[in-house]
Amino acid sequence: MALVQLDVVPDVGHVRVARLVAVSLARVNGVDEEVVEDVRLAVGEACGRAVAAHSRAALDEPVRLRFEGDADAGPGMRVEIVDRVAMPEADGEAALALLVGGQAPAAARAEAGAASAVMALLEGLADEVQVHTGTQGTTVELRWND
C-alpha cells in the first residue's frame, strides 16, 4: 500500500503544490484521466479550506495531506486532509454543517468565504466524502474508486 504524506505550511501560495502532488499521485494510482481533473480541484479546495482555517486561527502548524492508493489492487485513491483547528466533535452531516456554517443562497455562499461552495465541489467531484470534526481538528477524507 503506497502512502504519501505531505505537510503544507498555511500559506495560500502552497495550495498549488498540493494540487500538483494530488494530480501526480492520482496518475500513479491509475485514476482515470478524466477524473484526474476532479482530484486536482477537490484536493485544492479541501487544502485551501484547511489552510484558510489555520490562517484564521493564527496556527503556524502545517496542514497534513495523506494520499493512499494501491495500484496493484486496482485504480483509485484515498486522500485525507487534516487541519488542527479545534472544533466540536461531530461526524457526517453534522460535521459538514459545522464547516459550512448555515445555509444561504448559492451566490451568497460562494462570496461569503465559499465554505459551502467548497463542500458542494467536494461532494460533486469525489466518489465519497467523509468529514470528522473534533478538538484535534478536522479531517476531510476524499475517495475516488476508479
Residue whose CB is less far from another protein, 3 or 106: 106
Q: Check binding of 124 to another protein (CB under 8 A).
A: yes
Q: Check binding of 48 to another protein (CB under 8 A).
A: yes
Residue whose CB is less far from another protein, 68 or 79: 79
Q: Which DSSP string corresponds to 15-44?
A: HHHHHHHHHHHHHHTT--HHHHHHHHHHHH
Q: How far apart are CA 14 and CA 101, in angstroms?
A: 25
Stretch that binds another protein, among 13-21, 71-79, 94-102, 129-137 (CB under 8 A): 13-21
Specify whether the CB–CB gap between 85 and 133 falls below 8 A. Answer: no
* Phi, then psi, of 14 in degrees rounded to 5: -90, -10
Stretch that binds another protein, among 72-80, 89-97, 121-129, 130-138 (CB under 8 A): 121-129
> Coil, helix or strand for 32?
coil
* Phi, then psi, of 44 in degrees rounded to 5: -60, -40
Q: How far apart are CA 120 and CA 142, in angstroms?
A: 13
Q: How far apart are CA 111 and CA 93, in angstroms?
A: 22
Q: Check binding of 99 to another protein (CB under 8 A).
A: no
Q: How far apart are CA 50 and CA 59, in angstroms?
A: 11
Stretch that binds another protein, among 41-49, 73-81, 89-97, 127-135 (CB under 8 A): 41-49
Q: Check binding of 10 to another protein (CB under 8 A).
A: yes
Stretch that binds another protein, among 11-19, 76-84, 91-99, 131-139 (CB under 8 A): 11-19
Query: Interface with another protein by CB under 8 A: which residues?
Result: 9-17, 19, 37, 40-41, 44-45, 48, 51-52, 55, 60, 106-107, 110-111, 113-114, 117-118, 120-121, 124-125
